Amino acid sequence: METRNKLLLLACATFSIISFVKSQNQQGFISLDCGLPSNESPYNEPLTNLTYISDVNFIRGGKTGNIKISAETDLVGKPFKVLRYFPDGTRNCYSLSVKQGTKYLIRTMFLYGNYDGLNTSPRFDLYLGPNIWKSVDVLISGIGDGVVEEIIHITKSDILEICLVKTGTSTPMISAIELRPLRYDTYTTRTGSLMNIAHLYFLNSDKIIRYPKDVYDRVWTPYLQQEWTHINTTLNVSGSPDGYDAPRDVITTAAIPTNVSEPFSFTWNLEASDDETYIYLYFAEIQRLQPNETREFEIAANGKVYISYSPMNFEEDTLFNPAPLKCEGGVCLLKLSKTPKSNLPPLLNAIELFSVIQFPQSETNRDDVNAIKNIQSTYQLSRISWQGDPCVPKQFSWNGLSCNVIDISTPPRIIALDLSSSGLTGVIPPSIQNLSLLRELDLSNNNLTGEVPEFLAKMKSLLVINFRGNNLRGFVPQALLEREKDGLKLYVDENNKPRGSSEPRSRLVAIVAASISSAAVVIIVLVLIFIFRRRRSSTRKVMRPSLEMKNRRFTYSEVKEMTSNFKVVLGKGGFGIVYHGFLNNEQVAVKVLSQSSTQGYKEFKTEVELLLRVHHVNLVSLVGYCDEGNDLALIYEFMEYGNLREHLSGKRGGSVLNWSGRLKITIESALGIEYLHIGCKPPMVHRDVKSTNILLGRQFEAKLADFGLSRSFLVGSQTHVSTNVAGTLGYLDPEYYKKNWLTEKSDVYSFGIVLLEIITGQHVIEQSRDKSYIVEWAISMISNGDIESIMDPNLHQDYDTGSSWKALELAMSCINPCSTERPNMTRVAHELNECLEIYENLRKRRSQGSNSTKSLVDSITSISDTPSAR
């Protein structure tokens, strides 16, 4: 079989391929007929009843072309008789409104049809946002002179940009763009997106099947080898609950080997030898078996047997590999061989093949994109380069912009905007302030009117502003002039500068400053006298700043009463002892400061201040506190099942946490940390994320605890906070430890260690291991590629390899030595949700049939090479 089925375009384009079926719901579908005049839009394509619209509102450039009509092209459907070509500019981009986080089948189609009379194959690059998708080479062999590029991809924002990039002398062109939303729990991958190789069903025919028979508008092409025999049924085959829903015309046909003693073999090629592939196999028993007949066969890929399988009677089932498969030399072999007890040959109804494609470059920060597009719209800027992502790839960045591009995983930020001599009119738009990291703004030599806006003074990153050569009225706002003292360089016309000398004002400022300084000295002296006298009056009290929160405050006698005089100990830590107590008949946990605790009050104050102002379902709630002399206590909500570490080590007794429960705990913990990072104002770093600080409630819900070391971190242009190292050995971010640079990624590293604990059941530091540190141990075990040796043996292999490999890869990415390469907690929580979805879908499949070999997912254990620690 060929690597790419170039003639798939034939399936999408020709007239005599599908009988008409009544229209179904096209909600979420986007079908663009590229080059279609707006006065002919919309229309319903008569064979599929798909509604196509013109692309004029989705693209800024390009011209309309018409394919040359011939005996062959006369059969082509309406969406392919016109096209859009791009003689101007290097990058031309379609901008489509989509639903963020949605899984789409995205299809682009290119039918050349000698529209320009040059009879020359167009060659150009196709981009998805800032990432290259494919180098397109449109052949010129008649009706087959087209290409289809199709991927399954999850959108990262609410705008999807598809760009055509000129790479040589030929002109980029495109015929149609189609987007079809898919169920989120289908076509899952460990990483990356899926690039279509083929959707095949087995029939000796030219009957192409797509929408409306396929509700997702997958294009199924018939395929049958000489050594296969086609079988079919007219009986009903019930659909699968897993969401793949093969069309009836696909699932009611199948192929078996003509020689019933031979295996069913299927080979395909990948474009590159190191490509990874996913296989989706569709099965249904479509023959009525006699009591003495058995159909059972082994499924093997590249010579390795993964499962023995029997198709279900007249019921669709979809098997797939949850982890990507690599093929030696890029040549893949699927083989179905009947088992000794089977007297019927193997059967296959349909197959889908994909290769993995990575889109690693992050899009520019969405707030920056929205701001710059608002500016573009305000000033009606028609610069041809202002298409696609503003910052990346760098060679296509918008003229007049400078961007801060740190690495591929960090969204770029716009830091300079130069619109000088651009013919701008009107006022300076407020949307500029949404470029929150902007350092330089040059709007000089235009025809701008209105006043110099005061909001610019609030843009703390601004270093240079140039408004010279405009028609601005009034004076520069005082708040902006004050910024000049901090180093802001402000260039305005003379008529915008305040009248009069700045010297009297400077003298006044000096006098006021001197008066304030004198007053400050007096106040400081008085405060020192007060403190000195207070220290002498009592040797028992410790000098410290007082807490200003008066609500939820308890006396020490009330603390003794609620704990029955500190009767039941729940645990001990560096802060002190935690006691069990009751408050208004509700259980509470009371943490009492030890007299020997170092810096105890500082941590105590930090925790109270934080928990009194933040509230999240995955953060332990503070019921109250005691601050009475040296007697300090924190009263928390009671978490019935203690901490996570106890359950991993078996100290709590009872049953071991199962894989689903562990994933739910990691998700909830990640959401708690995410809230600290992006939900708090200012954002917070926990600094002591570890398994003993993750507590479990009555329903095993997870909550993050112990905020005594938490620190706020700055946002904006600063990338870190310099602070003394604090935390727990084994969980400490090595970059933070070496440089004293604290960022939210320090928590990500610690969480990665917790994730390794949950996956492996291992202690973070265990001297009896060859590799005492869990990170070194995990790296050495991963190199063997055996997931069973890594997973916690207490799980007794009750997990699936797809979600466990994905979770392990995520843990390794969290503990990347370089903090900028680590994911943020939003992405961590999202990927853990995907791990749980993979596992839960497997459990559903197991429960929906009595066949213990129902899913290929059940048995595949190491279908791919070792995951990389990205």
Catalytic residues: 688
Residue found under tokens 């069990």: 580
Q: Which of 601, 499, 506 minimizes the C-alpha distance to 546? A: 601
Q: Which of 13, 71, 93 minimizes the C-alpha distance to 45? A: 13
Helix (H) or strand (E) holding 355: strand 350-357
Q: What are phi and psi of 678, to 5 degrees?
A: -125, -15
**500, β-bridge pairs:** none
Calpha distance 689→751 (Å, rounded)? 6
Distance separating the N- and C-terminal Cα atoms of the chain: 34
Q: What are phi and psi of 813, to 5 degrees?
A: -70, -30
Calpha distance 638→588 (Å, rounded)? 4
**580, β-bridge pairs:** 589
Q: Which of 187, 333, 199 minimizes the C-alpha distance to 270? A: 333
**Distances from the Cα of 331 to the Cα of 271, 275, 686, 695, 870, angstroms:** 9, 10, 49, 49, 27
Calpha distance 31→53 (Å, rounded)? 6
Calpha distance 691→384 (Å, rounded)? 53
Calpha distance 239→245 (Å, rounded)? 6
- Judged on CB neighbours under 10 Å (0-12, 13-18, 19+), 481 is middle
**643, β-bridge pairs:** 695
User: What is the torsional sign of CA 301, 307, 308, 314?
Assistant: negative
Calpha distance 447→466 (Å, rounded)? 14
Q: What are phi and psi of 289, to 5 degrees?
A: -85, 140
**Distances from the Cα of 247 to the Cα of 127, 256, 310, 456, 841, angstroms:** 31, 20, 21, 59, 21
Q: Taking a C-beta distance cutoff of 8 angstroms, is the pair 375, 429 a contact?
A: yes
Q: Which of 654, 652, 545, 561 minimizes the C-alpha distance to 601? A: 545
Helix (H, G, I), strand (E, B) or coil at 20: coil
CB atoms within 10 A of CB 273: 12
User: What is the torsional sign of CA 355, 314, 244, 838?
Assistant: negative
- What tokens appear for 593 in the block? 């400061």
Q: Was 591 annotated as part of a binding site?
A: yes
Q: Which of 199, 98, 105 minimizes the C-alpha distance to 152? A: 105
Helical packing angle, 744-760 and 801-814, nearest 10°? 150
Q: Taking a C-beta distance cutoff of 8 angstroms, is the pair 533, 543 a contact?
A: no
List, in sequence order, every beta strand (DSSP E) within 82-145. Answer: 82-85, 91-97, 103-111, 123-128, 131-137
Helix (H) or strand (E) holding 165: strand 159-166
CB atoms within 10 A of CB 525: 10
List, in sequence order, every beta strand (DSSP E) within 419-502. Answer: 425-426, 440-442, 447-448, 464-466, 489-491
- What tokens appear for 644 in the block? 């996570």
* Per-residue b or e along 623-646, where b marks 16 or more CB atoms closer than 10 Å to that residue's CB: bbbbbeeeebbbbbbbbebebbbb
Q: Taking a C-beta distance cutoff of 8 angstroms, is the pair 709, 697 a contact?
A: no
- Reported residue count of the chain is 870
**Distances from the Cα of 616 to the Cα of 19, 110, 361, 450, angstroms:** 55, 50, 32, 45
Q: Extract the annotated binding site.
A: 591
Q: Extract the annotated binding site for ATP.
A: 591
